[in-house]
Structures are given as structure tokens and as C-alpha cells.
Structure 1
């Protein structure tokens, strides 16, 4: 979730940055609806989308299509609610999709500087608390381990990687990464990011 948690397996420490409260998420989703955006959060082991109940029909159609795609599988697991149904007390981030994202971001940040956005493609963005970011997480690790960020090699492919790729010593963007990630990276990999997960024994 954009660097929200750090798990240090050498000493068992877990560092968490700030999550969003249920009330904050409700307020943000209410604002997003004014901009006609699709809103969704991760809860109960899957994504829940709000205000798009028609998607239940699409979900049923995709459930019978035997395609082995990461996005199809995510859609099959997603829940679609007509109203905003939030079951958790805290949330890592809120995600949005739509063509009015620039106006929405401007509106939110004008009144709520405690948030930040990470763009995901041209029609998607994620909102989290201001202290949450992959660069902030890596800086924390560097301070703890006593190393310079200039010695860090990081790989990334999208908007939530841009700050880290630009700031670390060896920022590597994936071959099929976003234009903004490739623009700030010091290197571009010959390899593409795969969306399918593989299990090795």
C-alpha cells in the first residue's frame, strides 16, 4: 500500500505509517461522487467498489470466462456496493478511476493538505495520508540501517514509485512502466513487469 508498512525480518520490527479512518474515507468518497468517479477500497480480503452495482452483472459474465488474467481475477473477487459500506476502522488507501481525476485532486488538496495522491495510469489514482510513500519507507530503513539512500537500488513501474526512483542512487523503471516512472529513473530495465504471479517450489 504505497510503503505504508515496513516489516524488518532481521529484528521482527513492524513500522506503520498513518492509515485513513472510516470517517475520512466516507468524506473522500462523498467528494469523489461529486466528480462522478468510481471509488474502491481494500477490505475483507478483496476490493469493494461503491456506487457501481451494475458491475455485478459484468462480474457474473467474467466469472464464466476462462481467462487467466490478473485483472479478470481481481474483478471476479471484487464486491460492488450501491452505497458506501465500510467494514474496517482504518484503511490503507482509497482508489479512484475516471476522467475527472485532475479536478478531483485539486479540490481535495485545496481543503485537505494532509492527503497525497499517487497516479496509476491515466484514469486512476490512489489517495493516502501525507506521510505514506515508498520514499518515506526507504528513508526510514536507511536511517535504521545507517546507510545512504544513494546506495539504494529500487525498481518501479508507476506513479507511486516516482519519488523513490528519482531519489535513490539506482532508480530502475520497468520496460513497460509508466512514462512518468521512466522519465525520472536513472535506468530502464530490459524486462517487463509481469501482472501474473508465479509460484516456485
Structure 2
């Protein structure tokens, strides 16, 4: 992480962290050393924001460990769909995918033979090809601890998804790239499309983005992106990383995201890469 100016570091008031591939290690945990450091940063007056594609109910253990309610932190869920102000328990929502959007996107996905996933009523639900459907009992058993309410449907089963935050589409990169190209040509003004891995893209409404959610929080606090330090690793982080005064892309990020990086961490998420960066930036300024 070269060439970060001391003057820019002094402007930072808010620290925004993505979770999967960033703050989380491969075991989907935050190490104790990282937790302790983030608590110390909050004690020193920095605002902590977790900005993730996940949903609030999945984050409650980490909110507690990081003492975010005590320090009036913020949670951005589902790629920017919802903003939770922990001090007041207020929630701000951007636009959901409605039934018309859902049915249209599913129909297109069928034509590309993609698998589809969403979170509906706090349950991860999947529409899958015939082969995957036949082994779905095994998948359910293997993932039971992480996804206790996992559900599977076949193509053309009756699905009653009235409103969802995002749809995930999963396939081999070749199929997925063709699907994304098709959507980008016809629906770029309606949806945002993010790669979260070479095998998965997430689709949300056009006004749903982590950067828009952070801008909303900044306006509430009379701050700007000049006061933001952000960490991320995927397509759903790219706009935020570009707008933040200090936007740090994780060393383990997707190649497309790394190509757009302003700064790159020295270590991966599984090596406490966020903690390493924070120490480099703030160690001389923190009160213990």
C-alpha cells in the first residue's frame, strides 16, 4: 500500500468493511485481533460500517462482538438495499426487486440454463437444474450449519417470490458471461449487475449499491467520501472503492476488481489483510 498521503489518512472519519473475502477469513469469521483493533478504532471516534451482500439476521453475532451498537455503527445489507442505524434502530430501504422483475430475470436465466438463488423470508432458496436438484438432499445436509433453512426448487416449479433484495445467478463462467452480456445490452438502465466470483453474479435494482448507501450515511453525519476508508474484494465493492478517499482492494480480490484498484492490501483476507492495513494507517494515531 504505497503512496497513501498522511493528509488523506487524517481526513478519515468512517471505516467501511465488506465481509466475505474481506473482513471474513476462509472460516467466515473475524479474528480476535481484528475485532479488538476495530473496537479500539471506534473508541477513538471512528465510525464503523459493515457493508455486505448478506442479510441483517446473519450479522448479529458480529455486531455484538464488534460492540457496534455501543458505538453507534451502521450496517449496509444486501449490496446497499438496506441501511441500519444501530443507535436508533432506524432502517432506510432502497428499491427491492418486485415480482415483475423476478419473473422476467428467472425466465431469461432459464434460457441460459443457470442456477438461481435468493434470500426470501430469511431462507436461502434455490431454483436449480435437474442434475443439481437430484443431489439437493446431499447439499442441504452438507450446508445445514451455515444455511439451516435451505430450500430447492426445480425449473418451472411454482415459486412465490413477491419481493426480494437481490437475485444470484450461478453457472460456469462462459454461460454466465453470455447472460451478463445479454442483460447489459437490454437492461443496464434497470438493474445493477455484480460479479461476486467467476461463477456467480448478483442482480439488484439500479439504485441499489453500497456506494449509494454509504453516501446516504455520510449525508446524515455531515461527512463526504473524503472522510471514508473502504475495504472490498468484489464487483459489488468497486464503485465504493473508487469513490472513497482511501479505497483498498483486497489482495485476494477478483481480477476485474484488482484491475480497477487504487490501493491493494499487502495480505489476503485469510492473513488478516484488513488488520494489517489498519495498523499501517492508524497505529501512530490511536490511543490504547
> In structure 1, how many angstroms separate the alpha carbons of the residues matched to 2:157 and 2:265?
41
Q: Superposition pairs for residues 50-89 of structure 1, below 5 Å?
A: 50-62=127-139, 73-74=145-146, 77-82=149-154, 83-89=156-162
Alignment counterpart, residue 44 of structure 1, candidates 111, 121, 126: 121
1:119 partnered with 2:191:
no
Q: 1:171 deviation in Å?
A: 0.9
Deviations 1:39-69 (A, max 9, x none): 121123332221335334434345666xxxx
Structure 2: 5+ residue stretches without partners? 1-77, 271-288
Task: Tell me, yes or no, if the aligned pair for 1:177 and 1:193 is still in contact at 8 Å.
Answer: no
Q: Superposition pairs for residues 30-41 of structure 1, below 5 Å?
A: 30-41=107-118
Task: Tell me, yes or no, if the aligned pair for 2:233 and 2:257 is still in contact at 8 Å.
Answer: yes
Partner of residue 183, structure 2: 108
Which structure exhibits the higher relative contact order, with contacts defined as CA atoms closer than 8 Å and separated by 6 or more residues?
A: 2
Q: 1:183 deviation in Å?
A: 3.0
> In structure 1, how many angstroms separate the alpha carbons of the residues matched to 2:214 and 2:194?
17
Task: Tell me, yes or no, if the aligned pair for 2:140 and 2:150 is still in contact at 8 Å.
Answer: no
1:8 partnered with 2:85:
yes
Q: 1:84 deviation in Å?
A: 4.5
> In structure 2, how many angstroms separate the alpha carbons of the residues matched to 1:85 and 1:193?
40
Determine which structure has the larger helix proportion and give its number: 2
Mark the CA change 1:73 to 1:190 in structure 2 (over 3 Å): closer, same or farther. farther
Deviations 1:72-125 (A, max 9, x none): 855775322113443442100111112322222232233332111001111210
The DSSP-based 3-state class of the residue aligned with 2:207 is coil
Normalising to structure 1: TM-score of the pair? 0.81
The DSSP-based 3-state class of the residue aligned with 1:54 is helix
> In structure 1, how many angstroms separate the alpha carbons of the residues matched to 2:191 and 2:141?
39
For the pair shown, the structure with the greater C-alpha radius of gyration is 2
Task: Tell me, yes or no, if the aligned pair for 1:53 and 1:80 is still in contact at 8 Å.
Answer: no
Task: Tell me, yes or no, if the aligned pair for 1:59 and 1:75 is still in contact at 8 Å.
Answer: no
Structure 1: 5+ residue stretches without partners? 66-70, 195-201
List 4+ stretches of structure 1 deviating above 6 A. Answer: none
Normalising to structure 2: TM-score of the pair? 0.59
> In structure 2, how many angstroms separate the alpha carbons of the residues matched to 1:85 and 1:146?
47
Q: Superposition pairs for residues 146-165 of structure 1, below 5 Å?
A: 146-165=222-241
87-96 or 99-108: bigger deviation: 99-108
